[in-house]
Amino acid sequence: MGFLSRDPIMILSSEHHANLTEVLKWRRDVRHFSTAALEPALLKQIEACVDFAPSVGNSRPWRIVRVNDKNRKAAIVRSFEECNRQASLIYQEKARQDYLALKLSGLIEAPNHLAFFTDLAPAEGRGVGRQTMPETLVYSTVMAIHTLWLTARALNVGVGWVSILDPQTVRNVLDVPESWQLTGYLCLGYPLECDDKPELHRIGWQTDTQSVWIDR
């Protein structure tokens, strides 16, 4: 029996499109979190959606660590603080003060932390699709992160991506295999604010940006 005859085609409605557009528009990178705990059932719903993410050759290379231990969380906060201080050194004087005034993580307040790693040699998928562009394994993990991000937003949970971290420190703190590459470190929690504009635009760090498209 052929693939096409197995299932009726699932036609989505304009309502699906409208709802998706709203979720996309109101998804924000959240740095201001309530410390209120997320209900376990809600977390389960968010986590379950990761399984819908696409991946190169269906390799599903994401390895996700729930960072529960308070000492490990504190070590991650210390890594952020040191990396953020280092990052500020590329700016001079006033610009450095402006940079240091930015809130670039909600690591301390957010009740949940998730570290997304990419297994650079996953058995699943048997190598399909990634021979010319092995970096597609990492892209796949980014797809999983985005899937979780949108799902969380649809459930009124905020997500903040923190990349100002030393990957080797994070690997050591979380005691994961060397072959797992840190791809994204996420804070999750209820957001304290909500806006349809990125915070870096709102506070004047940058002016409005546009996607670049060209025709050939």
Q: Out of 29, 47, 82, 166, which residue is the one contacting ligand FMN (CB under 6 A)? A: 29
**H or E element, residue 26:** helix 14-26
Strand partners, 78: none
By beta-carbon proximity to ligand FMN, the closer residue of 29 and 47 is 29
**H or E element, residue 202:** helix 199-202
Query: Does 28 help bind ligand FMN (rule: CB under 6 A)?
Result: yes
By beta-carbon proximity to ligand FMN, the closer residue of 99 and 125 is 99
**H or E element, residue 63:** strand 62-67
By beta-carbon proximity to ligand FMN, the closer residue of 15 and 208 is 208
Q: Please, what is the minimum distance in Å from the beta carbon of residue 205 to ligand FMN?
A: 9
Burial environment of residue 64 by CB neighbours within 10 A (0 to 12, 13 to 18, 19 or more): middle
Q: Please, what is the minimum distance in Å from the beta carbon of residue 187 to ligand FMN?
A: 9
Q: Please, what is the minimum distance in Å from the beta carbon of residue 160 to ligand FMN?
A: 6
Q: Which two tokens stand for residue 7?
A: 């299932």
8 Å CB contact between 26 and 191: no
Query: Does 113 help bind ligand FMN (rule: CB under 6 A)?
Result: no
By beta-carbon proximity to ligand FMN, the closer residue of 17 and 202 is 202
Cα–Cα distances (Å) from 214 to 207, 208, 210, 211, in that order, read 22, 19, 13, 10
By beta-carbon proximity to ligand FMN, the closer residue of 105 and 181 is 105
Cα–Cα distances (Å) from 69 to 20, 23, 64, in that order, read 35, 31, 15
Stretch that binds ligand FMN, among 2-10, 24-32, 34-42, 62-70 (CB under 6 A): 24-32
Stretch that binds ligand FMN, among 35-43, 49-57, 64-72, 159-167 (CB under 6 A): 159-167
Give me the residues that bind ligand FMN (CB under 6 A), please: 28-29, 31, 104-105, 161-164, 198, 200
